[in-house]
């Protein structure tokens, strides 16, 4: 007879969807600690552990790991040049829509988000939200 399966196991080949507000917590922590450009610059393993410790108690016990895995993959997908350029062009107004897409898009943690599909979903969401001023126009 086989051992009982652990119901708390995380399936990293299909990470659970999360509430966008839950996924915003680690991003908000990065912003509050002066690292709001994490999506452009990336995050060190030390920073990731700090985020994990800072938001662990705030997150729902059932979705902690899913939120933190999705956050890591969100940061990683912005390493793609097209997404980094979109962030530079759109500015901080892109953060909330990107978090929403990351919370609701299918994710295999081993491979991360598909940058092309992520960008397409993000562009679709931005078009639904309406026109926003590019960062260059706001600065003028």
Q: Tokens representing 55?
A: 């938001």
Q: What is the pTM of this model?
A: 0.82
Residue with tokens 């939120």: 67
Sequential pLDDT tens for the chain (140 residues)? 444 445 556 666 789 999 999 999 999 999 999 888 888 888 899 999 999 999 998 888 878 999 999 999 999 999 999 999 999 999 889 999 999 999 999 999 889 999 999 999 999 999 998 876 554 444 44
| Domains of the chain, residue spans | 20-139
State the alpha helices, DSSP H only, in 19-114. 20-32, 38-41, 45-55, 64-77, 81-90, 95-104
């Amino acid at each position: 007879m086989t051992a009982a399966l652990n119901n708390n196991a995380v399936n990293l080949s299909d990470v659970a969807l999360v509430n966008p507000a839950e996924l915003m917590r680690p991003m908000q922590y990065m912003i509050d600690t002066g690292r709001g450009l994490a999506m452009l610059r990336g995050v060190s393993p030390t920073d990731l552990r700090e985020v994990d410790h800072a938001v662990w108690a705030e997150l729902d016990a059932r979705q902690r790991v899913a939120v933190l895995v999705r956050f890591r993959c969100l940061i990683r997908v912005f390493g793609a040049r097209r997404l980094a350029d979109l962030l530079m062009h759109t500015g901080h107004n892109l953060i909330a829509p990107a978090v929403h897409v990351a919370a609701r898009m299918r994710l295999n943690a081993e491979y991360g988000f598909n940058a092309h599909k992520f960008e397409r979903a993000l562009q679709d969401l931005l078009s639904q939200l309406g026109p926003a001023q590019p960062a260059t126009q706001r600065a003028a």
